[in-house]
Structures are given as C-alpha cells and as structure tokens.
C-alpha cells in the first residue's frame, strides 16, 4: 500500500491518543475514514479536528463497544452505507483499556472487561471486517498489541494479567494470520503494533470505560502518564503508518519498545526477576555506548 489516498480506513479507539493521531495523519494523506469509539464526546472532537484539517476527506463517526459483536456488525453495515462501498482497505484495531490486573484480588467483571476490550475487540473486528478487506484489491489489517504482548509485566510490584493476556493473544493471533492470509487471501496483509510508553489518555479513559468517575487524583495521574512518555501519540502514529506502508508485519513503536524486546529475547528466564528493570537500564546504557 504505497499510498493512503482514496483508500477507506476504519479506526477503533479514535477518540483519543494514537487513534486520533492515526485518523488525522491518514486524512492528511487523503484517506477516507470511519472512526469509532465508546466515548462520544472525544470521538466528536476527533471528527471535528479531521474535518477542519482535511475538509475534502469523507469521515464518519460511530459509537461502538468493540467487545460486543452486535455493535461490530452494526458498525460494518453503517460503514458500508456511509461510504457506499462493499470493501475497506484498512482496519486499525486500535482500541484498548487497562486496569484490574490481578486474578486474585480484583473483581472478575472488571478483569474480563479489560480482557474483552483488548482481545475480543481485535478478534471480533477482524471477523466482522475481513470480508470487506478481502473485497478490496489490496488491504491491510493493523492490530495493536503492546510491549506487554511479549513482556507480561509492569514491574515486580504490580499485577498486570488482564491487559498482558489480551495483548499476548493479539500478538499471537496476528502472527498466525500471516500464514493464514498468505494461503487464503494473499492480497491482505497484517501488521501487529507493539508500542512502549506513548503519551495517550489511556489511564483516564480506562476509568471511564470501566464505569468509574474521574477525580483530581486520577486526572493528575493520567496527565503524568501522558507527559512523562518518551514518545507522543503523533510520533507513534507516524511510525505505525510508515510500517504499514512498508508492509512490515511487526511494528515496534518507541526506543523503549526496541530495548525491552532485545532484553527479553536475550534473557527470557530472567525477565520476571525483581532486578530485571535494573539490568534493562544497563542494557539500554550499553546500546547508547555502542552507537
């Protein structure tokens, strides 16, 4: 896919963060869009920004809980009607939330909410839109995993099972699709995106999707997460789109993602030991010395 011009893309989780940045950059490249999110006011802001920056682009907005198959089917039908099409060229399964990481002390309902958004959102989206991708002359499926798709941890003091399990599933599913698509739909490609720490609003948005209410403490925590990130959402989206155009199946996003990937591969047995973080910092310093 050398150009995004005049293509049709569906982007989930488009109300904020990487989803919003993907939408703006795709539109700037001439791509028509159907954007979905479960937080309506943030989705409306994204659509307003896209229309202001790229007035010649056709963009539609759709409320969709990606964990719900019925809502995916409605989204597919609405996209086909809005764009008067039987195909799409790009599906970005980008939506995700965090939270409730312990199998032992956290509530099952909230644990499964995190898992179902992050995993079922990708699986159901692929199931629903694959016929439309296959109907295009060239198409690509882009699934967002995470560095937590190959390292199931936030460190030795934090349980992180729901999000990590989902992101491992997304990575494995996407890798398995490489062969499945090559055999059965060779004109459709797949990419799995594995970002490190990106400056997004996932912390605050996750509270809302879990049915909670934000307060000053949560807002401050979310701002710290966003502002301390070594890479912005705009920078991350640029890396992702370059990888898609380069037909890369594996897109690591951020220097921290590259370093962590190398460190886990180099010593997987030690990846969950308490001092792994210290050795990771040393590994990063060694990379800098070698340059």
Could you give the C-alpha distances from 221 to 12, 23, 227, 228, 273, in angstroms and in order? 24, 26, 10, 11, 27
Place of tokens 């180099």: 266
Please give the DSSP secondary-structure letter assigned to residue 148: G
Q: How far apart are CA 45 and CA 202, in angstroms?
A: 16
Is the distance from CB of 221 to CB of 203 less than 8 angstroms?
Answer: yes
What are the φ/ψ torsions at residue 251 (nearest 5 degrees)? -120, 100
Crossing angle of helices 108-115 and 161-184, rounded to 10°: 30
Question: Which token pair is 19?
Answer: 């989803």
272 part of the active site: no
Q: Is 238 helix (H, G, I), strand (E, B) or coil?
A: helix
Which residues, other chains included, contact 92 with Cβ-Cβ below 8 Å and sequence gap of 6+?
9, 10, 11, 12, 19, 22, 142, 144
Name the packing angle between helices 121-135 and 161-184 (round to 10°).
20
Choice among 150, 163, 168, 276 that is catalytic: 163
Contacts of 11 (CB under 8 A, 6+ apart): 19, 22, 23, 26, 33, 34, 35, 36, 92, 94
Output DSSP code: residue 137. Answer: S
Q: How far is CA 56 from CA 19, 79, 87, in A?
A: 20, 18, 20
Q: Report residue 231 as tokens.
A: 């890479």
Catalytic residues: 163
């Amino acid at each position: 896919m050398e150009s995004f011009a005049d293509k049709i893309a569906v982007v989930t989780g488009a109300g904020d963060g990487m989803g919003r940045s993907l939408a703006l950059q795709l539109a700037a490249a001439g791509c028509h869009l159907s954007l979905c999110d479960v937080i309506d006011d943030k989705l409306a802001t994204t659509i307003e920004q896209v229309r202001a920056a790229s007035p010649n682009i056709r963009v539609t907005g759709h409320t969709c809980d990606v964990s719900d198959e019925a809502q995916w089917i409605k989204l597919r039908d609405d996209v086909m009607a809005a764009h008067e099409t039987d195909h799409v060229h790009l599906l970005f399964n980008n939506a995700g939330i965090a939270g409730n990481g312990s199998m032992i002390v956290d509530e099952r309902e909230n644990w499964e909410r995190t898992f179902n958004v992050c995993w079922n959102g990708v699986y159901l989206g692929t199931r629903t839109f694959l016929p439309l991708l296959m109907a295009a002359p060239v198409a690509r499926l882009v699934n967002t995993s995470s560095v937590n798709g190959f390292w199931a941890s936030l460190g030795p003091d934090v349980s992180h099972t729901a999000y990590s399990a989902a992101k491992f599933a997304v990575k494995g599913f996407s890798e398995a699709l490489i062969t499945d698509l090559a055999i059965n739909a060779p004109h459709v490609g797949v990419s799995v995106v594995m970002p490190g720490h990106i400056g997004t609003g996932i912390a605050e948005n996750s509270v809302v999707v879990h049915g909670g209410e934000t307060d000053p403490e949560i807002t401050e925590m979310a701002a710290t997460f966003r502002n301390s990130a070594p890479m912005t959402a705009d920078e991350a989206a640029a890396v992702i789109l370059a990888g898609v155009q380069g037909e890369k199946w594996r897109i690591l996003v951020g220097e921290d993602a590259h370093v962590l990937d190398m460190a886990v591969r180099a010593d997987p047995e030690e990846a969950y030991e308490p001092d792994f973080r210290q050795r990771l910092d040393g590994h990063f310093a060694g990379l800098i010395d070698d340059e």
